[in-house]
Chain A
Amino acid sequence: MKKQISSPPLQDEQLISSFGIQRRNMLKFFGASAAVVALGSACNKNNDYVDPNTDKGVFLGAGDFQILNFAYALEQLEAAFYTQVVASAGFNSMSVLEKTYMMDIKDHEVSHREFFKAALGSNAIKGLTPNFAAVDFTSRGGILAQAKAFEDTGVSAYNGAGQYIVDVNYLLAAGKIVSVEARHAALIRDLISNGTFADDLDANALDISKPPTAIVDIANAFLTADSQISKRGLPA
């Protein structure tokens, strides 16, 4: 906590007084802002500072573009995963209905990816190169286990990042997508074990969101060295 909240110059105070705002209320206002800053700083005790001069990762940008690029990166990963799924040996061992589901989900993830790409325009990060070496595409079980991880991660990522979106239209767009990811997540879980569609909730039956930096750690494990996402400026 380096930022100091100093008393406003007298001039400003007179100005405020002339609008009839009491000094006491003004102090309340400053106090409240300070508390919000302090709360953020207390939560981010272990925030991931990245030096922009040495940062070699893919920089997501700032403001809403940062969060949109964050989502774009995840959707790139999911779309690449399902594109590989529907061409895999494991896919061929699935039932007709399961194959339909995989193809549908692939279309949804490609739609999400292309939506963000178009919405970001020249602010979009580059196309990322996935590294799925750790994924078993040869069996139904291997595919579904990885699909579950990606879908649940997607839900927790959107839920955790929503609070950092400033433009209400982007918040709505993220909301439109996250419920589809949750529908996917529930289905994949049920395909692995029927009835487990919502089994990892908190004590109040809420999904458990994750901060963007934690999601980046998960995503980077599935990206090549030159596609690692930088956490520079990302909320922790």
Chain B
Amino acid sequence: MNLQNIFSEIEKVDADVYDRLDTRRSAMKEFAKFTGKAALASMPLVLGSMFKKAYGQTPTDVLATLQFALTLEYLEGKFYQIGVAGPGVQANSGAAGLAALTKIRDHEAQHVAFLKSVISSLGATPTPEPKFDFTGGKGSNMGPFLGWEANYDVFLAMSQAFEDTGVRAYKGAAGTLINNKVVLTAALNIHSVEARHASHVRQMRRARGLATGSPAYVGDIKPWINLNESNIGAGFQAAVQPSYNGEELTVQNGINIAQVGGVSNVAASASFDEPLSRAAVLMIVDPFIVP
């Protein structure tokens, strides 16, 4: 994409474009200022913010979705920041496990920074980071996941549930972004990274379950979600089940997938990940947020 080209094309159809952006010179300067600190990949968003400045406001539902996504990324970011440094991961994850979890931790931190910069560039203030209670006790620090930092199996179970929930959350929110191509594409490009994380954490859980025989691991753990199975046990099943309810669908847009594909219901359900509404996701994360 050639920036000069964009401006000259716009100039042809809208001679006032530089008035809208103050002047050509200041427009270019503003752009340079943005790109100075923003990574190349966020250039379309920087452009988007310039056009927003010139032509009007970003709809509130787009901003609301971005703030919602930011809250989820804060949750994941802090979870890995504390968890990866905690005694459970440090003593049990092994070199490859630690490297993978560190990588995921860094991705979530990058997503937080990216979403904050997008929200700021759209002229809004990023929602502040909440205080978290990762025991799931809503601030009591006595919730069902008590001791999670020290127990690697609990940590991995929570990691899987957070990643799978993140995938469902972005998917459920995509529709609200359908009229903003730039933000929609960015959200899709985060959505698939969350799915990559989920896939890897599920592989780690499969290996760990086989190695330890711990009751935290239930059934045939795959990189994808079979039916509505969490594959999480040891008393945590009930707490995580809302993240998996609804994943068992085998009919899509009125089409019976098992029938047309000639596959099992398990395969039909795993072939499609299901969305969660914002309200459902907020219910799931509510116990982890200190009110």
Which positions in A face B, CB cutoff 8 Å?
Answer: 1, 3-5, 27-28, 31-32, 34-35, 37-39, 41-43, 45, 101, 104, 107-108, 110-115, 117-119, 155, 158-160, 162-163, 165-166, 168-169, 171-173, 175-187, 190, 194-195, 197-198, 201-209
Contact = CB atoms under 8 A, between A and B. Distances in A.
A179 B174 contact: no
A171 B13 CA distance: 31
A198 B223 contact: no
A184 B271 CA distance: 10
Interface string B245-282: 00000001101010011111001101111110000000
Interface string B116-158: 0000000000000000000000000000000000000000000
A119 B260 CA distance: 11
B99 interface: yes
A197 to B, nearest CB: 4
Contact of B191 (A35, A119, A175): A175
B106 interface: yes
Contact of B192 (A32, A113, A159): A159
B196 A104 contact: no
A163 B185 contact: yes
B269 to A, nearest CB: 10
B190 interface: yes
Contacts of B47: 39
Given A31-B55, A183-B223, A195-B103, A176 B261 contact: no
B166 to A, nearest CB: 10
A221 B13 CA distance: 39
Given A173-B253, A207-B190, 4 more contacts: A169-B253, A179-B167, A198-B197, A206-B114
Contacts of A186: 195-197, 199-200, 223
A166 B273 CA distance: 21
A-B pairs with the 8 shortest C-beta distances? A203-B39, A182-B195, A186-B199, A205-B110, A34-B13, A107-B267, A111-B271, A202-B41
B70 to A, nearest CB: 13
Contacts of A209: 185, 188-189
Interface stretch (B1-9, B211-219, B232-240): B1-9
B31 interface: no
Given A38-B9, A187-B203, A205 B99 contact: no
A3 B203 CA distance: 53
B22 to A, nearest CB: 15
Nearest to A107: B267
Interface of B: 1-2, 5-6, 9-10, 12-14, 16-17, 20, 39-42, 47, 51, 54-56, 96, 99-100, 103-104, 106-108, 110-111, 113-114, 167, 170-171, 174-175, 178, 181-182, 184-186, 188-200, 203, 222-224, 252-253, 255, 257, 260-264, 267-268, 270-275
Contacts of A104: 222, 224, 267, 270
Nearest to A110: B261
A70 B244 CA distance: 30
B36 to A, nearest CB: 14
A31 B17 contact: yes
Name the residue in A107, A111, A208, A209 with the highest tally of chain B Cβ atoms < 10 Å from its Cβ.
A111
A42 B197 contact: no
A220 to B, nearest CB: 24
A115 B255 contact: yes
A43 to B, nearest CB: 5
Contact of B193 (A4, A28, A34, A205): A205
A23 to B, nearest CB: 13
Contact of B196 (A110, A117, A182): A182
A177 B224 CA distance: 11
A35 B54 contact: yes
Contacts of A190: 199-200, 203
Contacts of A181: 192
10 contacts: A35-B17, A42-B6, A112-B271, A119-B253, A162-B185, A173-B253, A175-B174, A179-B195, A182-B192, A205-B107
Given A43-B1, A202-B41, A34 B14 contact: yes
A41 B252 contact: no
Contacts of A168: 175, 178
A209 B193 CA distance: 12
A107 B264 contact: yes
Contact of B42 (A28, A31, A204): A204
B175 A198 contact: no
B188 A158 contact: yes
B2 A31 contact: no
A172 B184 contact: no
Nearest to B272: A176
Contact of A180 (B100, B113, B271): B271
